[in-house]
Amino acid sequence: MLASNPEKEASSTPPFLAVRGIRKSYGGAQALKGVSLTLEAGTVHGLVGANGAGKSTLIRILAGLAHADDGGIAVDGKPALIASPAQAADLGMSFIHQELAFVPRMTVIENIMLGLPKKTRFGLVDWPAIAREVEPVARRVGITAPLSAEVDGLSTAENWLINICRALVRRARLIVMDEPTASLSAAESEKLFAIIEDLRRSGVAILYVSHRLDEILRLCDRVTVFRDGNAVSVMERHALSRPRLVEAIVGGAVEALAPHRDVVNKPIVLSARGLTRLPKVDDVSFDLHEGEVLGIGGLVGAGRSELMRLIYGADRPDGGTMTLDGKPFSPKTPAQAVKAGLGLVPEERRAEGLLLTKSVAFNLQLANLSGIVRSPALPLIDYGRRKTLSEGIVRDLAVKTPSIEAAVGLLSGGNQQKVLIGRWLLGAPKILILDEPTRGVDIGARGDIHRLIRSLAARGMAVIVVSSEPDELPDLCDRVLVMAEGHIVRELTGPGITRNAVVEASYAFDGQGKEQT
């Protein structure tokens, strides 16, 4: 049985935050159905659930960006009204969202101090005095950039540290972190985890929202699982396990994928020899077979996405050759690659793949315009055919959307990813490249996407999957190529495709693309 308990307090001291019976509706649909949550000082509380389960709605209510229809919030045992972000900040709550917000042309210290009262001298802001107070906090969280540096151009990891520093300067007692490691490398994530441990020891409460269950299991003292607007389970640290979390998130056991297949005897669709574009891709050779799911693993910065850009014609190689179905292949543009039978779902789906203000149907048909015109001589859209094709893809991929005319930006991350994949299904490419296909996607949508990939391969499509998550590739791929510093350093097949093998190979190089022994 899943743990599902009314939360009990360890002592008579009231928790920092208590949420009781919160309800919230949008357009007649209930986003939250009476959820409750308790956060004690000095603990890390995980919040997990499928996209659309209600996590973001609760966070918006806590941040003063939305107002509950019913229920109550107490801080330190006293009823609290949170009608604005300023009131949330006054109560000691700080929020770090997945899409980090900065004023690009302002400095580190100016962004840290946004919205806070500032010391003045002779009527001017006394930045030197402010810097003397901020510097110890910046050192504590590991900010290495000068406080006078502009934030524009800093890495995502550095921007996360700036956000944490901002929260501590505001003397936050609760920091809400939404998908904090989604764009961080393994080393950067480890640094963040150490900071979270330090914050916990100092009495700060952390509400940690993530789809990465390994992080939840590692960091959290307690986890609340949301499903369909309900808090369906609360698990204490001693009761946490991946199977129990997955079962609570999806409402049942997750179907296992088919085992790895031997595809090396199938026809070669794409062959690359000596592909090079320094410094990111260096002398890369591989074959891709019909109906194969080929994984590309390795650390962030290993050159995986840059290799995909060469294959797709987004960049031109400095050297090397490719063949497609045995014929020379050297696309000069993505349009040429698409015409040859390739499709690409990019790593940054919101920035590079979707037009967020346009409809689901519009985004689905972007690569299939020739298939929905009345005739080549009369290039006018056949809206009846557009509707039929779009609704068919939405139905087949189980895309959750109010209609095909809804703005795609309103959909959850998993459903946006399905729209991107669905775009290519209309043209039936020979090769589909998926760069980080399940980043920021909940466990249920992740399973849907994995099953879709396997079904496409079973129909004969060759699929390349680029992933930073070592757990994803063993679950999904028939063969895995591990990259390091622009080289392919190891090929994994069959039972040899394991999480530990992917991780070990990612680090097993000597700087020249050769494995250390």
| Per-residue confidence (pLDDT) for residue 494, from 0 to 100 | 86
Does 194 lie in the same domain as 102? yes
C-alpha–C-alpha distance, residues 74 and 68, integer Å: 13
DSSP state of 237: G
Does 44 lie in the same domain as 156? yes
User: Considering the domain boundaries, does residue 413 fall inside one?
Assistant: yes
Confirm if 155 and 186 have CB atoms less than 8 A apart: no
Which phi and psi angles does 248 have, rounded to 5°? -70, -40
Does 163 lie in the same domain as 37? yes
Read off the tokens for 413.
């991350």
Domain membership of residue 32 as a residue range: 17-250
Q: CA-based angle 294:295:296, to the nearest 5?
A: 125
- Residue 86, SS3 per DSSP: helix
Does 73 lie in the same domain as 147? yes
Does 498 lie in the same domain as 436? yes
Q: Quote the pTM value.
A: 0.64
User: Considering the domain boundaries, does residue 516 fall inside one?
Assistant: no
User: Considering the domain boundaries, does residue 155 fall inside one?
Assistant: yes
- Residue 154, SS3 per DSSP: coil
Closest CA to 364 of 329, 430, 408: 408
Does 322 lie in the same domain as 173? no
HSE-CB for 61 with a 13 A CA cutoff: 28
Number of domains in the chain: 3
**What are the CA-CA distances from residue 119 to residues 126, 132, 138 (Å)?**
6, 11, 18
Final residue of a structural domain among 250, 282, 313? 250
Read off the tokens for 386.
């557009």
**What is the Rg, in whole angstroms, of the alpha carbon atoms belonging to the chain?**
25
User: Considering the domain boundaries, does residue 459 fall inside one?
Assistant: no
User: Considering the domain boundaries, does residue 259 fall inside one?
Assistant: no
User: Considering the domain boundaries, does residue 349 fall inside one?
Assistant: yes
User: Considering the domain boundaries, does residue 450 fall inside one?
Assistant: no
DSSP string for 168-218: HHTT-SEEEEESTTTT--HHHHHHHHHHHHHHHHTT-EEEEE-S-HHHHHH
Does 323 lie in the same domain as 274? yes
C-alpha–C-alpha distance, residues 376 and 130, integer Å: 66
Strands (DSSP E) contained in 424-485 are: 431-435, 462-466, 479-484
Does 392 lie in the same domain as 279? no
Q: To which residue do tokens 């497609």 refer? A: 324
User: Considering the domain boundaries, does residue 506 fall inside one?
Assistant: yes
C-alpha–C-alpha distance, residues 52 and 31, integer Å: 8
Does 168 lie in the same domain as 22? yes
CATH of the domain at 475: 3.40.50.300
Tens of pLDDT along the chain (517 residues)? 334 444 444 456 889 999 999 999 876 678 899 999 999 999 999 999 876 788 888 999 999 999 999 999 999 999 999 999 999 999 999 998 766 667 778 899 988 888 778 888 888 888 889 999 999 999 888 888 888 888 887 877 888 888 889 888 888 999 999 888 877 777 788 888 999 999 999 999 999 998 888 889 999 999 999 988 899 999 999 999 988 888 888 777 655 555 667 777 899 999 999 999 998 899 999 999 999 999 999 877 788 999 999 999 999 999 999 999 999 999 999 999 999 999 998 887 777 888 889 999 999 888 777 777 777 777 788 888 888 888 988 988 888 888 899 998 888 778 888 898 888 888 788 999 999 888 777 777 788 888 889 988 998 999 999 988 777 888 889 999 999 889 999 999 988 888 888 878 886 654 444 554 4
The percent of the chain in helix, strand and coil, each rounded to the nearest 5, is 35, 25, 40
Final residue of a structural domain among 428, 452, 473? 428
- Residue 276, SS3 per DSSP: strand
Does 134 lie in the same domain as 67? yes
Final residue of a structural domain among 250, 285, 308? 250
Does 147 lie in the same domain as 93? yes
| Per-residue confidence (pLDDT) for residue 510, from 0 to 100 | 43
Does 240 lie in the same domain as 228? yes
